[in-house]
Amino acid sequence: MDQIKIGKFIANMRKDQNITQKQLADSLSISDKTVSKWECGKGLPEVSLMLPLCDILQISINELLSGERVGECDYKSKAEENMVKLIKENEQNKKNMILSIICGIITIIAVCALVIIASYVELPVYARIIFIGLAIVTAIVGIGAAAMLEIDAGYYECPYCKALFIPTVKEYIKGYHTFTKRRLTCHECGKTGMCKHRIIR
């Protein structure tokens, strides 16, 4: 999805309706920061907000996702194009999630193997140190790669305002986490809480 194009389109359609960002935000019960984010191309409206948003802007979902007015004759082809794009985005997220898990498992096996070799195989001291060093480097690189893949796989959902957002690498690494949730500060409402990881929108 071309977020910048969609954002500009939302801004233009809103101005056509003579409403401010604040008025639009109020009628959707969201913050005006969220509207401004969409219009700057920094995020797409959540699926649950798409229908009411399109209603207010008097456009179709197809037009919203295309980021432009769609004429009668390309309506069908545009709709199909948009569907394929949404499905592809979700597929890519799933792939990244699976890669992240595989990457994590390989890292754990490799680190364990290196530590076992260093501890139990008869080796000169310098070789043991090299193996331990390799284990540490493997752990750092492996966990880093798994984290990068997981950040790319989908969104985190705020438990308070239900906004979906993608954390920065710094926020992600700092956040205490369980298997499906991570402690993050919401980019929309600014509250900190356990945010659920969602692979698809």
Write b or e for each residue in 162-178: b if 16 or more Cβ atoms lie within 10 A of its Cβ, otherwise e.
ebbbebeeebbeebeee
**What's the closest the beta carbon of residue 172 comes to Zn ion, in angstroms?**
16
Which CB, 194 or 199, lies closer to Zn ion? 194
**What's the closest the beta carbon of residue 194 comes to Zn ion, in angstroms?**
12
- How far apart are alpha carbons 4 and 137 in whole angstroms? 39
**Where does the chain have alpha helices with state H?**
3-16, 21-27, 32-39, 47-57, 61-66, 75-120, 125-152, 169-174
Which CB, 11 or 189, lies closer to Zn ion? 189
Amino acid at 84: V
Which CB, 48 or 160, lies closer to Zn ion? 160
**What's the closest the beta carbon of residue 166 comes to Zn ion, in angstroms?**
14
**What's the closest the beta carbon of residue 173 comes to Zn ion, in angstroms?**
20
**What's the closest the beta carbon of residue 188 comes to Zn ion, in angstroms?**
5
Which CB, 30 or 158, lies closer to Zn ion? 158
Interface positions with Zn ion (CB under 5 A): 158, 160-161, 163, 186, 188-189
- How far apart are alpha carbons 153 and 101 in whole angstroms? 11
- How far apart are alpha carbons 111 and 140 in whole angstroms? 10
Which CB, 41 or 159, lies closer to Zn ion? 159
Retrieve residue 163's tokens. Answer: 């906004």
